[in-house]
Amino acid sequence: MALLWKGYQTLLKKHPVKTQVCSAATLMMLGDVISQQVVENRGFKHHDWPRSGRMAFIGLIYIGPCITLWYRALDYLVHGTSKTTALKKMLLDQIICAPTILGGFLTFMGVLSGLSSEQIANKFKKDYKDVLITNYYIWPAVQVANFYFVPLNHRLIVVQFVAIFWNSYLSWKTNKE
């Protein structure tokens, strides 16, 4: 495990954005695998691998890049490492980023799943409010700790490890009938 962490640190220093984006993709896919295997009890024989691929793809082209750049922007906009600074960053994150990222996620998931624009709009109306409210139960505390204790280059990976469970929820929520 120490060797894996050391390798990750080396990649993070050489290619911070690429490493964070690939980490997001991998951990989003893992969240979907957990959703299908643990929450939905599908078994590997009935596992929907294209669905897992969609989650990874969204992590690679949307979530990973957006969150990486967002954290850099937050550090630029709100300076310091105090508890007050962490609280300000969390508030900005939850007021600006969370609603936007979640809306984009639901839209991308619908597009990648082959839904029509009408189906995407209906699914958005059905799921967005629940997903956003659930977000507010989980993420503010995680983000205050993340912004206060974790260095910038490690924030995305910390969030993505917590998000394995969040991604399991999102995958389940956006794929249930």
Q: Which two tokens stand for residue 127?
A: 């799921």
DSSP code, position 45 = G
Contact assessment for residue 35 and residue 168, using Cβ atoms and an 8 Å cutoff: yes
Which residue range is the domain that position 162 belongs to? 13-175
Q: Is residue 1 part of a domain?
A: no
Which amino acid, 5?
W
Q: Is residue 8 part of a domain?
A: no
Q: Is residue 4 part of a domain?
A: no
Give the 3-state secondary structure of residue 174: helix
Distance CA 121, CA 123 (A): 6
Q: Is residue 6 part of a domain?
A: no
**Got the DSSP string for 77-132?**
HS---SHHHHHHHHHHIIIIIHHHHHHHHHHHHHHHTT--HHHHHHHHHHHHHHHH
Count of structural domains within the chain? 1
Q: Which residue has the tokens 């956003």?
A: 132
Q: Which residue has the higher pLDDT, 158 or 102?
A: 102
Q: pLDDT tens digit string along 14-48?
A: 999 999 999 999 999 999 999 999 999 999 999 99
Q: What is the pTM of this model?
A: 0.90
Q: Is residue 2 part of a domain?
A: no
Q: Is residue 5 part of a domain?
A: no
Distance CA 170, CA 110 (A): 13
Residues 48-71 have a mean pLDDT of 96
* pLDDT score, position 122: 96
Q: Is residue 99 part of a domain?
A: yes
* pLDDT score, position 152: 86
Q: Is residue 155 part of a domain?
A: yes
Distance CA 4, CA 9 (A): 9
Q: Which two tokens stand for residue 29?
A: 């896919």
